[in-house]
Amino acid sequence: MNGKIHSISISKRKGIPKSNIKSANLIYEHGVENDVHAGNWHRQVSLLAVESIDRMRKKLPNLRAGAFAENITTEGIDLGKLTVGKKIKIGDNAELEITQLGKICHYKCAIHFLAGDCVMPTEGIFARVIKSGSICINDNITVL
């Protein structure tokens, strides 16, 4: 199963949409450089498929990658088929290990209030960085 990076996003604060960037460094056991969610924990990097965002665009046409606070928006890979412990390679060097599928939203986000739903809790996945590397938009994602 292979796909590619559709977009990369970071933020300095929690609870806000992330800003899109062209490239990023994934740092071993830390996460995406300069992102608020990076740190020594199991949810260092968040991923969401652009196909999930596209379904939400039927209700909110102006949604963009990063609006769900995901770090990596994927394209062409079925994230729902990945399991905890599965490893993925991104670009030439970076590797992630899937640590969590979905999440509990304790507070409903703005998207949920506007659309009546949000895909991140059910379709987003989380990972930790097990091998550092630089990533760019359109880099390949390979399930190992």
Domains of the chain are 2-143 (2.40.33.20)
3-state class of 111 per DSSP?
helix
Helix (H) or strand (E) holding 112: helix 110-115
- Per-residue pLDDT tens digits for 79-90: 989 999 999 999
- Per-residue pLDDT tens digits for 21-60: 999 999 999 999 999 999 999 999 999 999 998 987 787 7
**Spatial separation of the C-alpha atoms in residues 86 and 90, rounded to whole Å:** 13
Query: pTM for this one?
Result: 0.90
70: which residues sit within 8 A by CB, 6+ positions away? 9, 18, 46, 47, 48, 120, 124
Give the position of tokens 């968040």.
46
Helix (H) or strand (E) holding 113: helix 110-115
